[in-house]
């Protein structure tokens, strides 16, 4: 993947330099400073980050304004502010949660845009009408191309070893924050034929993924119909992932009914068995409730505090993922937010909270919540789709790109729904693929699958010191 970064502290540029496709840094105005970063760019589109630092008196409510130098540049969507464009002028107004900006405080914004002809950066910024002329920051403009993931002969599990939660991050055996990227199965009761030696070889070697999420539905013809059979199949997929150096998320896929306490006894039985069996493995992560819905955070917390000790009794070291309210939306889909978790966290250590999104349905307000929550809570996106929340509809490239760029920036791990040939637009494989034996190459991929594979297969560059 090629990534070009431009950092600027706002001010006027010479007219000639403003015409560059990836321009150099500029200096910004007294009272505030703006660092503008082109984080990714493709033909006809780009994504930018905008960091605003208040160098003047504290403000309660703010509006950032700038003008695009090229009439062919258009704002398409933004996050962490209310964005709008009139002519060439773009404005970003504060939201309720980030309206207060003290002296020296910063706020990170971002947006995606389209362009034609050229894509020069803006040349001047104002905050509440005052031009930014703050102290210039160091300019760096880099373009790098990376290939290969992981290093030859070394797998994600070999490099990172036993994972743990440190602060708000997922960390490896060197206590360094990492991001895992991979795929989720569909329900193994329906698509079990998709998960064989050839398909997992492709995931590890062609996709260069780091993890496989094993979605074991509890209802919907799943675990409750044959507990021993589904437990055995989950364990075999853990082994197959381990053999390829992939991390495996054991997903207790509760969906209907949405209150995980309905399956409390089943969860205790299942996790007691899989944790005892897999305790010595370094590649296992436990996800105890897929998408709680129609249930309060207090109910979810109570469930977690009864299931986690069952896992810990057998496997004291593994990371545990805890589902959140509103289909694992941190409560946003129920009209709430992460504050209920921040104020009343699960009484357990080495845990992370899950967030799920579907890019065509969940946009700015969901991204704003993740940006804010990631400073207080360890988050793991154990499921996301590039389409609508139904699993169908059109693939939304713009929103999907914005989401994955945000997760990359925050080092939040993710698994895409789904590594399957289901007849739905969220599936990565074309219908009928799992009836054959070929899982590599672009010919087997859907539009969504090609996009996600391109993102996953770029180098991880896991830190080891």
Residue 146 and residue 27 in contact, taking contact as beta carbons nearer than 8 Å = no
Closest CA to 240 of 276, 273, 208, 284: 284
Q: Which long-range contacts (CB under 8 A, 24 or more apart) does 301-309 make?
A: 301/344, 301/346, 302/261, 303/260, 303/261, 303/264, 303/267, 304/346, 304/348, 304/351, 305/346, 305/347, 305/348, 306/264, 306/268, 307/264, 307/267, 307/268, 307/271, 308/346, 308/348, 308/351
Q: Which helix H or strand E contains 50, and what residues bound it?
A: strand 45-54
- What mean pLDDT do residues 175-197 have? 97
The DSSP code for 334 is G
Number of helical H runs and strand E runs in the chain = 11, 23
For residue 120, the model assigns a pLDDT of: 85
Number of domains into which the chain is organized: 2
174: nearest Cα among 190, 185, 163, 187: 163
Residue 417 lies in a domain: yes
Q: Compute the 3-state secondary structure of the chain and give helix, strand, coil in percent, each to the nearest 5.
A: 30, 25, 45
Among 145, 177, 192, the domain boundary falls at: 145
- Selected catalytic residue, list 291, 338, 340, 424: 291
Residues 101 and 200 placed together within one structural domain of the fold = no
**Model confidence at 226, in pLDDT bands (50, 70, 90)?**
very high
The enclosing domain of 296 has a CATH number of: 3.20.20.80
Same domain, 392 and 331: yes
Looking at the structure, tell me whether residues 38 and 60 fall in a common domain.
Answer: yes
220 shares a domain with 116: no
Q: Which pLDDT belongs to residue 408?
A: 94
Judgement on whether residues 169 and 99 belong to the same structural domain of the protein:
no
Last residue of a domain, which of 110, 145, 180?
Answer: 145
Residue 463 lies in a domain: no
Angle, vertex CA 154, rays to CA 151 and CA 158, nearest 5: 130
- The pTM assigned to this predicted structure is 0.70
Question: In sequence order, which residues have a C-beta less than 8 Å from that of residue 396 and are 6 or more positions away?
Answer: 359, 360, 386, 387
Would residue 383 show up in a list of annotated catalytic residues for this protein? yes
SS3 (DSSP) at 262: helix
Domain presence at residue 388: yes
| 229 and 96 inside one domain | no
Query: Scanning the structure block, which residue is given the tokens 């980050």?
Result: 49
Q: Do 268 and 407 belong to one domain?
A: yes
**Angle formed by the axes of helices 397-410 and 447-456, nearest 10°:** 20
Local confidence band at 442 (pLDDT 50, 70, 90 cut-offs):
confident
CATH of the domain at 93: 2.60.40.290
Given a cut of 90, whether residue 49 has pLDDT beyond it is no
Domain range for 69 is 2-145
| 133 and 176 both lie in a single domain | no
Does 30 or 43 have the greater pLDDT score? Answer: 43
Q: How far, in Å, CA of 410 to CA of 173, rounded? A: 20
Residue 458, C-beta contacts closer than 8 angstroms, at least 6 positions apart: 1, 146, 149
**For residue 134, pLDDT beyond 70:** yes
Q: Assess whether 444 and 413 both reside in one domain.
A: yes
Last residue of a domain, one of 95, 118, 145: 145
Looking at the structure, do residues 186 and 314 belong to the same domain, yes or no? yes
CA-to-CA distance for 211 and 80, rounded, in angstroms? 30
Across 410-423, average pLDDT: 97
pLDDT of residue 323: 98
Strand ranges, E, within 218-316: 247-253, 284-287
- Asked whether residue 365 is assigned to any structural domain, the reply reads yes
Q: How many other β-carbons are positioned within 10 Å of the β-carbon of residue 76? A: 16
Answer whether residue 136 shows pLDDT above 60: no
pLDDT surpassing 90 at residue 105: no
Residue 151 inside a domain? The answer is: no
Q: Is residue 197 part of a domain?
A: yes
333-338 mean pLDDT: 96
pLDDT at 144 over 80: no
Mean pLDDT over the full length of the chain: 87
């Amino acid at each position: 993947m090629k990534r070009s970064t431009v950092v600027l502290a706002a001010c006027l540029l010479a007219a000639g330099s403003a015409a560059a496709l990836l321009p150099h840094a500029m200096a910004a105005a007294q009272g505030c400073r703006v660092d503008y970063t082109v984080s990714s760019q493709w033909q006809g589109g780009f994504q930018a980050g905008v960091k605003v630092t208040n160098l003047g008196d504290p403000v309660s409510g703010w509006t950032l304004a700038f003008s695009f130098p090229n009439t062919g540049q258009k704002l398409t969507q933004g996050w962490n502010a209310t964005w709008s464009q009139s002519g060439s002028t773009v404005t970003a107004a504060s939201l309720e949660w980030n309206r207060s900006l003290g002296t020296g405080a910063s706020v990170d914004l971002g947006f995606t845009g389209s362009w034609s002809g050229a894509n020069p950066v803006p040349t001047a910024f104002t905050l509440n009408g005052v031009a930014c002329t703050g102290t210039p920051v160091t300019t760096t403009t880099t373009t790098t191309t990376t290939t290969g993931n992981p290093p030859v002969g070394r797998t994600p599990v070999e490099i990172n070893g036993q994972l743990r939660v440190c602060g708000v991050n997922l960390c490896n055996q060197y206590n360094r924050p990492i991001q895992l990227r991979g795929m989720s199965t569909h329900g193994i009761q329906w698509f079990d034929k998709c998960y064989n030696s050839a398909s997992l070889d492709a995931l590890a070697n062609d996709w260069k993924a780091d993890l496989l999420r094993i979605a074991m539905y509890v209802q919907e013809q799943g675990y409750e119909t044959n507990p021993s059979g589904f437990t055995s199949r989950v364990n075999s997929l853990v082994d197959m992932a381990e053999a390829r150096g992939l991390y495996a998320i054991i997903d207790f896929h509760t969906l209907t009914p949405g209150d995980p306490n309905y399956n409390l006894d089943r969860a205790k039985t299942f996790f007691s068995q899989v944790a005892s069996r897999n305790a010595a493995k370094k590649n296992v992560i436990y996800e105890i409730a897929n998408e709680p819905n129609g249930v309060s955070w207090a109910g979810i917390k109570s469930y977690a505090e009864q299931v986690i000790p069952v896992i810990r009794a057998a496997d004291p070291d593994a990371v545990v993922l805890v589902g959140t309210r509103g289909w694992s939306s941190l409560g946003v889909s129920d009209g709430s937010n992460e504050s209920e978790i921040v104020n009343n966290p699960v009484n357990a250590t080495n845990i992370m909270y899950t967030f799920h999104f579907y890019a065509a349905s969940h946009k700015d307000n969901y991204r704003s919540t993740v940006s804010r929550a990631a400073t207080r809570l360890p988050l793991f996106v154990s499921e996301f789709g590039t389409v609508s929340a139904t699993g169908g509809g059109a693939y939304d490239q713009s929103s999907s790109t914005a989401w994955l760029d945000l997760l990359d920036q925050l080092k939040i791990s993710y698994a895409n729904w789904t590594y399957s040939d289901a007849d739905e637009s969220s599936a990565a494989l074309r219908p009928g693929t799992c009836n054959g034996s070929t899982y590599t190459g672009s010919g087997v991929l859907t539009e969504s699958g090609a996009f996600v594979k391109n993102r996953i297969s770029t180098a991880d560059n896991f830190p080891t010191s």
